[in-house]
Amino acid sequence: METEQQLHVDLGNLMAFDPHHHFPSLPSSREDLVKECLDQGTKLVQAIADKLFNLPSTEDVDGPIVKLPPPTTRLPREKHLPKPKPPTKWELFAKARGIKKRKKDKIEYDEKTGTWKRHYGYDHANDDDNVPIIDAKMTDEPGEDPFAKRRSDKMKRVEKQEKNRVQNLKQAAKAGALPSHVQLAATALPITGTQAVAKKMTKHELGNVAGLAATATASGGKFDKKLPGEKPAKHKGKHRKFLPAVEGTGIGSQEKEQTDKVLNKLLSKNSHEILNVNKAINMYNVKKEKHRRNKPEKSSASSSKLKPKKKLQKKPLNKGSSKKGKTK
Amino acid sequence: MLKVKTPKKGKARRELNKRAPKLVETGKKTLILHGTKTSNVLNSVLTQIYHLKKGSAVKYSRKNADIRPFESGGETSLEFFSLKTDCSIFVFGCHSKKRPDNLVIGRTYDHHVYDLVEVGVENFKSMESFTYDRKLAPKVGSKPFIAFIGEGFENVEELKHLKEVLLDLLKEEVVENLNLAGIDRAIVCTAISSNRVLFTHCALRLRKSGTIVPRMEMVEVGPSMDLVVRRHRLPNESLRKEAMKTAKDHPKKKVKNVSQDSIDGKIGKVYIPNQKVGEMVLPNKSKGVKRERREGRRKNEGDDHASKRQKEDTE
């Protein structure tokens, strides 16, 4: 009994482990060694059998069947735990609005034929697309085929649904919960449940990484051999330069020059936007109004000399009337 | 727009769903591979491991030059094969002057190498070299008893690791119900020294002992070999944590057509297809019952009269 307590028996795996056995002296010949091992093994196997045969069993045609306990030795998984599928856009919307799924009958009454038909699929009940005559409406555009319009509308709906489906699948792929039988064509890898979506590196990213790797030497990549077609590293040493902000001659004036340059460039680029036409018209109108308001005061206070002048100005405007007068 | 590829046939879909990650995993498959050079011994070791694991193993017979599990970059094609065959344990044999008869046993997690143990094979005795009563020979795919003997398996880190890997390799699928009549083999691993393990495969003979528990007797059937531990690589700690995760609650299968009633108790529904009485096949299918004949006879009654009479006359 004492020896049995020292054994670790894992009935789920039919495994026994004797952590205390120690060979006092290794047997010289191979046969003796194997024999001793087998003797020890038999003891362990007997220990497993003791527990196994004492489990409650049910008789079957092929022999007694026992229910094994789950294994106690923990072994690593083969693949990660399945990830939960993220909700689709509709599911999110339905949840926010409190929309519940309700079950529809598989068949419904078709009023046209007076029979019961499936509510979906070929030859389904109350099919809007399968009518011989469509009543004209006031809103109908002339020259438009209402049948073709219905068909194209349906096509559009189907396409939209497909688009939504792919979008939801993409979301699921991002969460790593793509159904195992679905493969998004952008990833050409063999399909399995565990394969993460491979991210393709762009040409630019590769170039950048290569540039970084090239500078990872003591000399910063200065004395390295260049490969054919290799571009020089993009960022060498300092990334930003700041000029002194204090004004002066030489380098001191460069900061101002630089800013001026930028400002000029911006101004010249957006010069057409400087003239706000609406604002200009408003201003012009306001000015005109002011001018008009000021005029009556001026006219009352003005000398008589101005009056005939005004008449002279008006004359060409009333040319027609003057002509009329002449003919009279 | 992004194209979605799905299998055309239901069988392909089912096959892919088998490969999907599961809440409760069923069993690991083993991939058996060769390196560039394999000795005679190693060839037979790999074949016999394949025989031990038959049913849940895939054996590749080609040479693989670019597989070096311990080196970085040498596991790429191994991981690809693991993905392709859906195997998560691999046994890779290669022979070199530095490491003769080398066997690398490793496991993968999510088709990436999880851990590795390298052992050398010595004193190999194949299945064919053992003579025993053929009636005792273990059946393919039966669940073996596994015995680990020796304090080395607890004290020495390499052996402890080897024990876990060997257990994962040798244990068959975890089952709930076991038929006691199907017990017919045992695998005994003994730690002889700090880096050497004696591995033997035995058949079991159940002898009567007077109690319910039969007396076990072991007959060595091979293969038998010494495994000398060389290099090993334990899993990354974070990866190990990730891989050891188990599902907390097992999903219950939905029970259909069974309901509970407070008065009647358990109620089951049984569906029977429509009885089409009109189309039912009659047990008596004699020629006289057939409709055409009867009708035909009625039609031609007048014409046939003479001939029929004649017949009657002859009779």
Distance of alpha carbon A39 from the chain centroid: 64
For residues B127 and B221, what is the distance between their CA atoms, to the nearest angstrom? Answer: 6
pLDDT, greater one: B30 or B212: B30
pLDDT bracket for residue A190 (50, 70, 90): very low
Give the HSE-up count for residue B240: Cα atoms under 13 Å, Cβ half-sphere.
Answer: 9
For residues A48 and B147, what is the distance between their CA atoms, to the nearest angstrom? Answer: 9
CB–CB contact B149 A81 (8 Å): no
For residues B193 and A54, what is the distance between their CA atoms, to the nearest angstrom? Answer: 35
- Judge contact between B84 and A195, C-beta under 8 A: no
Q: What's the gap in Å between the CA of A52 and the closest CA on chain B? A: 8
Burial (Cβ within 10 Å: 0-12, 13-18, ≥19) of residue B92 = buried
Which chain A residues are Cβ-neighbours of B142 within 8 angstroms?
none
One DSSP character per residue, B259-271 reads EEETTTEEEE---
Note the pLDDT tens digit of each residue in A193-229.
555 556 677 877 787 777 777 777 787 777 877 777 6
pLDDT bracket for residue A319 (50, 70, 90): very low
B185-191 and B145-149 strand pairing: parallel
Q: Which residues pair with B120 in a beta bridge?
A: B102, B228
Orientation of helix A306-317 relative to helix A319-327, angle to 10°: 80
Note the pLDDT tens digit of each residue in A253-279.
888 888 899 999 888 877 766 677 788
CB–CB contact B198 A34 (8 Å): yes
Torsion on CA atoms B147, B152, B155, B161, rounded to nearest 10:
-60
**Residue % of chain B over a pLDDT of 70:** 92
User: What local confidence, expressed as pLDDT, does residue B11 receive?
Assistant: 94
User: What local confidence, expressed as pLDDT, does residue A303 receive?
Assistant: 47
Count residue pairs from A and B with Cβ separation < 8 A.
233
pLDDT, greater one: B232 or A188: B232
- Checking if the pLDDT of B314 tops 60, the result is no
Amino acid at A106: K
B89-94 and B30-34 strand pairing: parallel
pLDDT bracket for residue A249 (50, 70, 90): confident
pLDDT bracket for residue B47 (50, 70, 90): very high
What ipTM was assigned to the predicted interfaces of this complex? Answer: 0.76
Domains belonging to chain B, first-starting first, are 26-174+181-233 (3.40.50.10480)
- Judge contact between B124 and B150, C-beta under 8 A: no
- Checking if the pLDDT of A314 tops 70, the result is no
User: What local confidence, expressed as pLDDT, does residue A129 receive?
Assistant: 80
CB–CB contact B147 A17 (8 Å): yes
**Segments of B67-195 assigned E as strands:** 89-94, 102-109, 112-125, 145-149, 177-179, 185-191
User: What local confidence, expressed as pLDDT, does residue B233 receive?
Assistant: 93
Choice among A102-111, A162-171, A218-227, B287-296 with the minimum mean pLDDT: B287-296
Mean pLDDT of chain A: 80
Which chain B residues are Cβ-neighbours of A67 within 8 angstroms?
176-178
- Checking if the pLDDT of B105 tops 90, the result is yes
For residues A50 and A59, what is the distance between their CA atoms, to the nearest angstrom? Answer: 18
Residue B104, number of CB atoms within 10 A of its CB: 25
Which chain B residues are Cβ-neighbours of A40 within 8 angstroms?
147, 149, 188, 190
CB–CB contact A41 B181 (8 Å): no
Of A46, A64, A71, the CB nearest to B216: A46
**Residue % of chain A over a pLDDT of 90:** 27
Q: How far is CA A14 from CA A17, A46, B39, B220, in A?
A: 10, 11, 33, 19
CB–CB contact B177 A67 (8 Å): yes
Q: Does an H or E element contain B247, and which?
A: none
pTM: 0.66
**Segments of chain B assigned E as strands:** 4-5, 30-34, 57-63, 89-94, 102-109, 112-125, 145-149, 177-179, 185-191, 196-207, 215-233, 258-261, 265-268
Q: Which residues contact A243 (CB under 8 A, 6 or more apart)?
A: A251, A254, A255, A258
Given 3-state DSSP classes, what are the helix, strand and coil percentages for chain A, each rounded to the nearest 5?
Answer: 45, 5, 50
Record the tokens describing residue A305, joined without a space.
């000399």
Give the HSE-up count for residue A28: Cα atoms under 13 Å, Cβ half-sphere.
Answer: 0
Lookup result for tokens 């809103």: A139
For residues B152 and B158, what is the distance between their CA atoms, to the nearest angstrom? Answer: 9
Record the tokens describing residue A134, joined without a space.
């469509």
Give the HSE-up count for residue B113: Cα atoms under 13 Å, Cβ half-sphere.
Answer: 25
A8-10 and A15-18 strand pairing: antiparallel
Mean pLDDT of B225-249: 90
Orientation of helix B291-299 relative to helix B301-314, angle to 10°: 100
- Judge contact between A44 and A7, C-beta under 8 A: yes
Q: What's the gap in Å between the CA of A129 and the closest CA on chain B? A: 28
Q: Taking the alpha carbons of B296, B301, B307, B312 in that order, is the dihedral positive or negative?
A: positive
Residue B293, number of CB atoms within 10 A of its CB: 11
pLDDT bracket for residue A153 (50, 70, 90): very high
Choice among A32-36, A306-310, B108-112 with the minimum mean pLDDT: A306-310
Which chain A residues are Cβ-neighbours of B163 within 8 angstroms?
17
CB–CB contact A193 B21 (8 Å): yes
Q: A72 in contact with B at a CB cutoff of 8 Å?
A: no
Which chain A residues are Cβ-neighbours of B159 within 8 angstroms?
none
A184-210 exposure pattern, b = at least 16 Cβ within 10 A, e = fewer: beebeeebbbbbeeeeeeeeeeeeeee
For residues A115 and A109, what is the distance between their CA atoms, to the nearest angstrom? Answer: 6
Note the pLDDT tens digit of each residue in A284-312.
999 999 999 887 655 444 444 555 544 45
pLDDT, greater one: B239 or A296: B239
User: What local confidence, expressed as pLDDT, does residue A317 receive?
Assistant: 47
pLDDT bracket for residue A232 (50, 70, 90): low
- Checking if the pLDDT of A313 tops 70, the result is no
Mean pLDDT of A240-252: 78
CB–CB contact B217 A181 (8 Å): no
**Residue % of chain A over a pLDDT of 70:** 80
Query: What residues of chain A, 240 to 299, have a C-beta less than 8 Å from chain B?
Result: none
- Judge contact between B32 and B59, C-beta under 8 A: yes
* Most B CBs within 10 Å, among A23, A58, A78, A83, to test the B interface: A78
- Judge contact between A209 and A216, C-beta under 8 A: no
User: What local confidence, expressed as pLDDT, does residue B313 receive?
Assistant: 47
Record the tokens describing residue A42, joined without a space.
């038999």
For residues B79 and B114, what is the distance between their CA atoms, to the nearest angstrom? Answer: 11
- Judge contact between B118 and B103, C-beta under 8 A: yes
